[in-house]
Structures are given as structure tokens and as C-alpha cells.
Amino acid sequence: MSDESPAAADGMLVDQRGLTSRSHRGAASSPAVVATSTVLRQLYSLVQRYFPQILVAGIALSILFVYTTGGLTLMGEQIKNALVLGAIYALVAIGYTMVYGIIELINFAHGDVFALSSFYALIIATSFGGFVNSLATGSGIGLLVALVILFVTTMAAAGFTGMAIERVAYRRLRDAPRLAPLITAIGVSFLLEGFMLVKFGADNVPTKNDLWITGTALTLGKVSIAWTDLFVFATAVALMFTLGAFVRITTLGKAMRATAQDRNASLLCGINVNRTISATFFIGSALAAAGGIVYSLNYHSIQWSLGYRLGIIAFTAAVLGGIGNIVGAGIGGFVIGIIYVFGGQLAGGEWSDSLIFAILVIILTFRPTGLFGVDVTTRA
Amino acid sequence: MPSLGLGRLLTRERVDPTARRPRGAGTSTFWIFSIGSATLLFMGWLLPWFVRPTSSGIGYSPMDVVSSAPTGIGTFLVYLLGIGMLVMVLSPFAELFYRARKRAVPERLDQVRVLIAVFGLVSTVVVFLLTRVIQEEQLFGPIDAFTITDSAVWLTMVGYILAATAYGLRGWVIRRPTTAFAALALPVGILLPLMFHQAPVFILWAAGSLGIYTLLALGLNVVVGFAGLLDLGYAAFFAIGAYTCGSLASPKHSIHLPLWVLIFLGAAVASMFGAVLGAPTLRLRGDYLAIVTLGFGEIIPDLATNNIGKLTGGPDGISSIDQPIVHLPFATINFGINKEWYYWSVLLVVIVVIVLLRNLEHSRVGRAWVALREDEVAAAATGINTTSTKLLAFAIGASVSGLAGAFYGSIVTIVSPDDFSFSVSVSILSIIVLGGIGNITGVIVGSFVLTFVIFWMLQYLNEWSATLGQTINVPSLGNIDYSQYTYMIYGVALILMMLLRPGGLIPSRARQIELTSGGEEESLAAVQGIA
């Protein structure tokens, strides 16, 4: 990467990716100001260095607090909720991180692709006179077939939507200043939101699939885990592992990693960069669609503006895991799910969103590389 | 300095038709004359549609005027003016046709236009005086003649005068377009509310949406346009200003400070928040900074919704905010009733802010911003304190936003968290992207266009389409809620502008050079992530 800023002598504010640069060049006038700024700077570097430890300690403390107030049942219940929510965040976060890894763009519309794909799923489940829906509620095999139909069609539709977005809004701006595609991304996001608002109305839309997967799978102590919870978690983990294998093993995955490392060099090696980037968008959007499907299966209610906040939260997960790092995004999704649920338990549910946004600001301020921020050259 | 040119307009000297424009004027004078007069005439014609009386429930449209019983000379005049308007509107197309054929525009077309202009000018003055003298006579049948003639006549007249003056002063206009624009726009801007006796809706639009959004766009332009920092949470500072105003001038906390104190207070509080947010985060690269500001912009309305410290009133917000009452020796002005005073106050503030920002743009700080935007490393090497320069841009942008927020709170008298969502930030961003990032004139034009479309046209499209649906027997047209297309309009505006015309409608010159130069090695700005 060519945008690494020159390392400062003390190396304090400079991380390996050059996200930050030396900022303290103003001459401080009075000794008090100097002392204060020194203390602040030391605090800053302290937080920066021990960021993962502080985060883990905070999460552990909040879980402990929930345990002391609500006992094992509440804790177990909340851990289950956190893992289910985290699985959805992880699925969406992977799309953010893949796209950022390959073209360094915060794909603002990704959250809205998630919301749109949950509407796709609704359309597919209720089309053909409710064929898929009746199939799913009929028998066990029928449910399996219905799920396969739903996942394949919705993921394909969302993938092509993602490819179309890239083709129309981002490709022409690939060599433009960095903020230009970000602004079109915001435009695409608003276009999708507006489309969903006009098409599906401003109210919550019931997804009509609450009879698909029902019942309790198992009970651990007093915590009952429903089949949907298990299904969401298993789907997310399975898809993530599949993606990991895909990126590591296949030729296209290799092309993606090469393009992420150096686009021009991969062009010289004969990689079809345009096709690779399109494929990245397809896969990212398809995973978001999987997230949308499991969201609608688990929560039974979707809304046009669903993708906006969920998108920011998933982006926070991607940043937390180190943007560009697929494994990191997966883990970050679960961590953010835990923070969301337990933070909401501690401070009151209405503060959950604010908490995540505050964490987003804090991560980007103190540790823009995230927990598993790796060198740019090794990003996938 | 040429004379006013009205004389020349009336007695055109006959010269060779292929070279009949004055030197240096070129084609643009004709376009100024044609398009200016045509659009203004068109507006004058359409205006009855916009103006609605508060008392009677009759809806007006130009068709109503035409179809109402012709009872007086007024209707006849309206017909004539309509035909004149048609000619004026069509004449540029005729001219275009001749130009496309590479033929000289016939002299007669020009004469016809001059004739129509003179006729319109005279007749509008006559009608205006007539309606003033004999208000009782119903010139337009059962419809409130006062409103229709007043607004239509005023605007048509202004249109003619503007067009004629622009034509007369064409040399000056071409040499100094900005000054000319200001000299023409200012009187019109000041007099605008007086032309609408019964249209508080218009004033509310002009002051509330246009004025406030222009202020916001000017402020964001400092951050995004001058300093090149993308701020996606700009509505947060707007919210801070509005809540400052709401808290300190309402029965909520039983504090009643005057608006004149509050606008400065709102600006100060907002800029303080801007500095607090900016200090740790401004060293981030462009897109990361955008996301941090986005997070901040979500946190602030959340804090307000959750009624932090019992200060903000929760989801309902703060209501019944004071509206200033000024006691002058000869009159008492109640802003809540005479809303045009809000318009004038906002106009004054907008003008002051424009002048200040213009000066700032060309000052040492403004040049530092440009240097920073272009190449941060080089700027730092030349001795610019990058952090404090960025921080200054952030704080100034925030303070303009806070000022606008204080005004907004006072105008709408109720602030609630929903008014400051992300869509507000995006609408302001759309304004400056549409108008031209970094260009004050462009930003003003952008705010005119977008607020007109979003806050004026979409509101009325519902009624128009319902009327149209009734007329042509398609009642489903009345069920379309056009205001829900707002999001799509913002989205399409952002995408199309960035793809097709990244400099905006009126690009700033420096920005245009940057954007067209392209290439990876061309400028480090591309690498540093500055749009």
C-alpha cells in the first residue's frame, strides 16, 4: 500500500497500517498544558496497547454482573440470544470486510442488501400461491426442500443485486478519490431503502414463516434452545467455514486474495480483476442474504429500514475483527452480539445501539486495525 | 458601465443579422434573456397554483382561472399574457432550431419578444393598479381575485424587469456574474414574502426549509468542501443547536432566553461538541472519519430519545419553544404570527454566513484547508498544523449547524429526535454534492433545487395528482404518496452526480481540475482519500 505515513520517531501513534499519523506538532505553551497532554498521550497509548484485554475484561465483567443479578438462567438465555444475534451480524460483517479487503470501499449499501434480501425471501416464500410455504409446513423433507429453494434463490438474487450495484455505482469510480465511491454507496443505500419503503410500506412486515421451524431443540438447565436458534447458529457457522475453505482452496479464492493484495500486479498475472471483484460482491451479498433469511426465520418481522442500523452494527463487527480479515469479521460479529445483548441488559435495551456506536467510535479512534488487524498484504 | 439598456431594448439598431450581438456578449445574453424571462413568466403563470387562501377552501390552478366565467378585462389579459408566455417559452427552442441549422435567427423573433415584454410590463402594472384601486370587482369570477392577480402580476412583473435589466446590463453581467446575481437576487429575496399575502406556507418553506438547509449546507461545505473531511453525522450538530434552543427558550426548564442570544449559544455549544469529537478522531483517514462521524450522528439522537439527564424530553422532544416578540417604538413584531420576519432573519444570517465563509475561503486558513485537502503530508511539511486546521474546519462547520439548529427550533417550535436522523445528514450531503462540493454558489443553488423538490414539490404533488386523477377519472392517482420518494431522490441524486458530474451543477474550479486530472500518480490526494 502506498498510503503508509512515515513512521514517527516514537512510533506511539503510528500503527502498521498507517491509519493514524503523528498529530502533536503544535507547540504547547504552558507547562500545565504540556503535562496534561503528556498524561493524555500516555493514557491513549495505554488504551491502544491493551485494547483487547480491556474489551475482554469489560465483556467478562458484564457477563459476571448479569450472572450475579439474574442467575445462571438469565445468563444462559442471554448468551444464547447473543450467539444468535452475533451469527447474523457475522454473516453481514463478512460482506463488509470482503469488499473492503478487495477495493477498500465501505460498502454502505450492504446493510440494505441484507434487508432487501429478507424481502426477497418473503416474496419467494409466498409466490406461486404459497407453494414454498405450504411445502415447508407440510413435512420434514418438505421443509428441507423449501429451505434449499429459499436459500439458493434468495442468495442468488441478492448476489446478483450486489453485482449490479458494483457494476453500476462503484466500478466507474474505482480509481476516483476514495470518498467518491463512498458517497455513491450512501446513494445506493438510500435508493434501496427508498425502494423498499415504496414497495413494502413503512410498517413492519410479518414474514409469514413462523410455522416453518418450531419447537424446542434441547434444554440446558432452565435454558431452552429453540430449533430456530440452533438453525441460525449452525447456518452461520457452516457458511463461514465454507467461505473460508472457498477463499483458501479454489482458484477464484486465490484470485480474490491476489486482487486484495495488489490489483495491478494481479492484472499483470492474468487475473480478471473485474470478474473477481464482481464475484466478491456476489459472495458478500449472498452471505448477507443468508443473514436476512435466518433473521426473518428467527424474528418473523422485517422492515424497510432494518438494514441501516444493522448494517452499522455489522460494520462495527467487521472493524472490531480487523477490517479485511474474514475470520476476524466472523469472530467480531459474535463479540458484538455479546456486547449488544449484555450491554443492553446492563444499561437498558434502549442504549444497546448507542453502546455499539460508541464502541465503533472508540475502536476507530484507538485501534483502527481492530482485534485481529493484520498487515495489509495478508488480507484476503 | 452601460446604461440600463431599456432604451436599447426598445429601439434595436438594425445590423447584420449574422453579427448582431455586442462584442464579448456572445450567445449567453440571449440565453439569459430568453430563459430568464420565460421561466419567470412561467412561474407567474403557475403561481396561482401554489398560492392558496387560508379562509376559503377553493383550490386554484391556472386551469381554474381559464375555465372560470370570463367576467372582466382581467381574464382577457390573462389569456393574452398566457399566449405571450407561450411565445417566450417557445422562442428559445426556435432559436435552438435556427442554431442547429446554422442559420441566423430572424430579427422578427426578437421584435416579437420585445413587444411581448413591453406589453406584459405595461399590462401587469395596469392590472396591478386596477386590482389595488377596485378590489371589490371580481375580475376572475368567484375566485379570490386578490391573491391570484397579486401573486401572478408581481412575479410576472419581476420577471420582465429582471429579464430586461439582465439584457441591458449584459456586458456587466458577463464580466461580473456573481455581483450581478447578488444585485438582482437580493431585492427579490428581500421582497419575496410581501408578494404573498395569504401564503404562510410559502414563508415557512422559504424560511424553514430553504433558509435552514442553505445554512446547513454552507456549514457542511466547510467541512467536506474546503477541508475535504467527509462528515456523515452533521445532523448531530444541528440537533445540538436545536436542543440548546429548545432547552433554554421553552417552558421545559422555565428558561426563556431571547433567540438572538440562543443562536450564538447554539453555535458555541455545537462547535464545542465538534471540537470534542474531532480532537481524537481527525487523524483518521477519510472513510474511517466518515464512519466515526456517522456513529456520533446516531448517538446524539439516541441520547435525546433516551432522555438523558431528563433534559431532552424523550421521543416527544421539547415543545412550545418561544418565538421572539420584538417591541419597536412604532410596532410590535410577533415572529410567531408574522412569520416573514423569520424569513428575513434567516436571510440576513445566510448572507452574513456567506460573506464570512467567502472571506474565510480566501484567507490563510482557507488556503491551509485546500493544501490539506490536496496533500496532507506536503501541507504538514510546509508548516501547517494539520490537526488544528482540521479541527478548525470541523468546529466552524459545527457552529454553523448549531446556529441553524437554534433557528430551526424557534421556527418549528418543537424539536424531537426524529428530526435529526441520518437522512437529514444525507440530504445536506446531497445538496452540496448536487450543487458543487466546495463552491458556495453551487451549494446555494443545490439547496434551492433540492429543498424545492423535496419540501415543496413533493408536498404538492399529492394534491396535484389527486386533482389530475379526478379530472381524467383515474382516482388511483390520488392515492400515491409522493413524499415517500424522498429517499430515492436523495439516492439517485448522489449516485448520478458522483458518476456523471462529480463536480456538481456548478463545480468549483479547483475541484474540477482535481477531479479531471485523475490517475494514481497524479495527486496524492487520491491516495490520501480526499474526494
Q: Does residue B399 register a pLDDT over 90?
A: yes
User: For residues B146 and A372, which has the higher predicted lDDT (pLDDT)?
Assistant: A372
Q: What is the CATH number of the domain that holds A235?
A: 1.10.3470
Q: What is the mean pLDDT of residues B404-428?
A: 91
pLDDT at A333: 93
CA-angle at B436, arms to B434 and B442, nearest 5°: 95
pLDDT per residue as tens digits for the range B308-351: 777 888 888 888 888 888 888 877 888 877 777 888 889 899 99
* Angle, in degrees to the nearest 10, between helices A227-249 and A251-261: 80
What is the CATH class of B200-528? mainly alpha
CA distance A332 to A89: 8
pLDDT per residue as tens digits for the range B36-60: 666 666 665 555 544 444 333 344 4
CA distance B514 to A180: 13
Q: What is the mean pLDDT of residues B363-379?
A: 89
b/e sequence A351-379, b meaning 16+ C-beta within 10 Å = bbbbbbbbbbbbbbbbbbbbbbbbebeeb
φ, ψ of residue A218 in degrees (nearest 5): -155, 160
Residue in B491, B492, B531 closest to A178 by CB: B531
Q: Do A354 and B495 touch (CB under 8 A)?
A: no
Amino acid, single-letter form, for residue B79: Y
Q: Does residue B193 register a pLDDT over 80?
A: no
Q: Does residue B282 register a pLDDT over 70?
A: yes
pLDDT at B54: 35
In sequence order, what are the residues at sequence separation of 6 or more whose Cβ sits closer than 8 angstroms to the Cβ of residue A317?
A: A89, A90, A92, A93, A329, A332, A333, A335, A336
Q: What is the mean pLDDT of residues A333-345?
A: 91
Q: How many CB atoms lie within 10 A of CB B305?
A: 20
Q: Which of A257-271, B109-123, B411-425 has the lowest mean pLDDT?
A: B109-123
Residue A245 located in a structural domain = yes
Q: Do A178 and B529 touch (CB under 8 A)?
A: yes
Residues 299 through 318 of chain B touching chain A, CB cutoff 8 Å? 299, 302-303, 305-306
Q: Does residue A118 register a pLDDT over 50?
A: yes
Closest Cα of chain A to B231: distance in Å? Answer: 11
* Angle, in degrees to the nearest 10, between helices A326-347 and A227-249: 150
Residue B254 is given by DSSP the state T
Judging contacts by C-beta atoms under 8 Å, the chain A residues touching residue B292 are: 360-361, 364-365
Counting the structural domains of chain A, the total is 1
Partner A contacted by B98 (CB < 8 A): no
Q: A288: closest CA among A153, A131, A154?
A: A154
Sequence spans of domains, chain B = 6-194, 200-528
Partner A contacted by B488 (CB < 8 A): yes
Q: Do A354 and B525 touch (CB under 8 A)?
A: no
| pTM to 2 decimal places | 0.78
Partner A contacted by B484 (CB < 8 A): yes
Q: Does residue B198 register a pLDDT over 70?
A: no
pLDDT at B322: 85
Residue A7 located in a structural domain = no
Residues 339 through 378 of chain B touching chain A, CB cutoff 8 Å? 376-377
Domain interval for residue A190: 70-378
Q: What is the mean pLDDT of residues B145-159?
A: 55
Residue B39: its H or E element: helix B28-50
Closest Cα of chain A to B221: distance in Å? Answer: 15
**Helices first, then strands: H and E counts in chain A:** 12, 4
